[in-house]
Amino acid sequence: MAAPAGHPVLRALLSRPTPAVMGVLNVTPDSFSDGGQFIAPEHALAQARRMIAEGADIIDIGAESSRPYGAQPVSADEERGRLRPVLAEIVALGIPVSIDSMKASVTAWALETGAVIANDVWGLQRDPDMAALVAERGSPVIIMHNRDGADASLDIMKDIAAFFQRSLDIAAKAGISAGSIVLDPGIGFGKTQEQSMTVLARLDELLVFNLPLLVGASRKRFIDSITPSAPDQRLGGSIAAHVIAAKSGARIIRTHDVAETVQALRVAAAIGDKR
């Protein structure tokens, strides 16, 4: 059981009986699943409203694709330029917004604009200014495991544990409160398809850190390795993975498909209550 979150935003999100649902909003032209669909500000705002109506507890907005293969790096100025027309309006919708960025300068701007959670896909280990920024702002931070490339010979659970320990050491030295940290094992990032499945099967081993876990298996490629399918045809596999993750202790589920995920998590929890 994870220690109680110290940050009020996390306390509110983690106090409910089923995992909080984080809706994915990519304002990018090249994200693996929905690239280009929401880059127009009016489309992004409409999608945020739709996800909130469907039960999203958090909106996670990103303006640079972090997909493991073929993503095009963008400058901090371009990333802010994609966010500027929509971020403040999405914040005004009234639920917590997380900023999915690996750049401290973009994260700082987003937090100033009203985002409340930093979501760093490099777990405080890529941008040397990220940990100090998070500590200074006192914001919650999602620390995700990542690698520059997959290595099938690794014991992936040991690699994740070692990565998290390095990130937590960085966080502690910067003065980030443990009660503000969420851990994300990074399904699909720097992992073979088999390793992604292993992480989901052994997710409960990461509870040893006594911190809340976030899982984002939505539309990931490992589903295609089991049942060949395009990203937008992986809803069933995504829900299966997320229900398993919730049963294994995940407290936040990150998804493109909010309504279906909310329903699946609530039904699984209701059935579990009858045991």
For tokens 């979501």, the residue is: 119
**Hey, how many other C-beta atoms are within 10 angstroms of the C-beta on 166?**
14
State how far the Cα of 50 lies from the Cα of 56, in Å rounded to an integer.
9
Q: Which two tokens mark 152? A: 């099938």
206: left (phi over 0), alpha (psi -120 to 50) or beta: alpha
Q: Which residues, including other chains, have CB under 8 Å from residue 183's CB and lie 6 or more apart?
A: 142, 143, 144, 145, 164, 206, 209, 211, 212, 213, 214
Three-state DSSP at 183 gives strand
Query: What are the residue numbers of the active site?
Result: 220, 254
Which residue from 85, 114, 86 is spatially nearest to 98, judged by alpha carbons?
A: 114
124: left (phi over 0), alpha (psi -120 to 50) or beta: left
**Which stretches of the chain are assigned E, i.e. beta strand?**
20-26, 58-62, 97-100, 117-120, 141-144, 181-184, 213-215, 250-255
Amino acid code (one letter) for 59? I
